[in-house]
Amino acid sequence: MNSEQFGYKKLRIWQDARDLTISIHQMTLKHIPKFEMYEEGSQIRRSIKSVKSNIVEGFGRRRHKAEYIRFLDFSYASALETLDHLETLHETESLTNTELFSSLSEQLTHLSRSIFQFTKGVNLYHNEDRA
């Protein structure tokens, strides 16, 4: 396989999303009550995986600027959704580890900002002829 096919792995936003996917998955296994595994825990796992997957799918469509931006927008929205689920877990006292909550919240905020800035860059500088 051509190494260019996996060029999305070089993107910092994808790397950060991958790290957060692992951290949030582990958080739902170790730090929330069992009943949350199939409620809010399931929702937060799906939304963070969507962040990463939409970055990949957008990258796969990067020859078409509008499609690339569309999937980056989905990724950004999923990052915000994930932050909302995290806040819900903390506010309902299902996630009582405040240090873990703060760390994940900061990382999600950073990731959402990075995706937003990356999308702005794609919008300004993307050249479909060179994608």
Which tens digit of pLDDT belongs to each residue from 13-36?
999 999 999 999 999 999 999 999
User: Quick check: is 49 in a domain?
Assistant: yes
Q: Please indicate, yes or no, if residue 2 is contained in any of the structural domains.
A: no
At 77-99, the pLDDT tens digits run: 999 999 999 999 999 999 999 99
Residue 1 in any domain: the answer is no
- Provide the number of structural domains found in the chain: 1
Identify the pLDDT of residue 121: 96
Evaluate whether residue 34 is within a structural domain. Answer: yes
CA–centroid distance for 2 within its chain: 26
CATH code of 77's domain: 1.20.1440.60
Q: Is residue 40 part of a domain?
A: yes
Question: Other C-beta atoms within 10 Å of 109: how many?
Answer: 13
**Residue 46's domain spans which residues?**
9-125
pLDDT of residue 130: 61
